[in-house]
Amino acid sequence: MNGWHVLLGVGFLLLLARTFFFLVDVQGGSMIPTLQHGDRVLAMRFFPLQWMQHWLKKGGIVILHFNVEAGESEVRPATGEGTLYIKRLIGLPGETVAFRPADLPPLPPIISNRQGAQMDEDGRWVWPIPVGHGFVKGDSWGFDSTMIGPVPLQNIRGVVVMKLRPSRYLQNPVYKSDRQSDLPE
């Protein structure tokens, strides 16, 4: 009978782990130097409930969906489908984020202007972050809030809790190291 208890306990722990955590293989270079293409991270699933928002820390790394298509002017709430992105959360609801133009990547053809930004008197792009939104940015240039504006917190799928050993499947990838490698086509 003790063998069944151990087996049930292990099964229950695996079910809990699968419910609250997931693995992500990093693809692309927008988080260099913190994360490299081929690195693997463990993320805790994020449910956009009020009591879960204490897990969102400024400076933390999050996994999220961007639902934006060519010609759209803002990010839609995520449907759960599409590409996952890994970015650093640098602004929380009610805050303001600002960058000098020289510190920002050029806009891709599908985006006509810096969504939600205004130029201030010092010549910086400024984004106020509305309630229920966050501002995410890669550690290198890439597709992030500097192009599409603040994203709904409900688009966040997980919060990175630790970096693991690199994925053996992505160790020798054919990868272009251009500075905008994660931009949508």
Domain boundaries, the chain: 22-170
pTM, two decimals, is: 0.78
Q: Which fold has domain 22-170?
A: Umud Fragment, subunit A (2.10.109)
**Residue-wise pLDDT tens digits, 144-175:** 899 888 988 888 888 999 999 776 665 544 43
Residue 156 CA to residue 63 CA, distance in Å, equals 6
Alpha helices in the chain (DSSP H): 2-20, 145-148
Q: Which residues have CB under 8 Å from 60's CB, separation 6+?
A: 88, 89, 159, 160
- Each of the 185 residues of the chain gets a pLDDT tens digit; together they read 577 878 887 877 778 777 788 888 998 888 999 999 989 999 988 765 555 667 788 999 999 887 665 444 455 555 556 678 899 999 999 999 999 998 888 887 777 788 889 999 999 999 999 998 999 999 998 888 998 889 888 888 889 999 997 766 655 444 343 444 444 44
DSSP state of 139: S
Mapped onto helix, strand or coil, the DSSP state of residue 26 is coil
Pull the structure tokens for residue 76: 């839609």
Residue 77 CA to residue 123 CA, distance in Å, equals 31
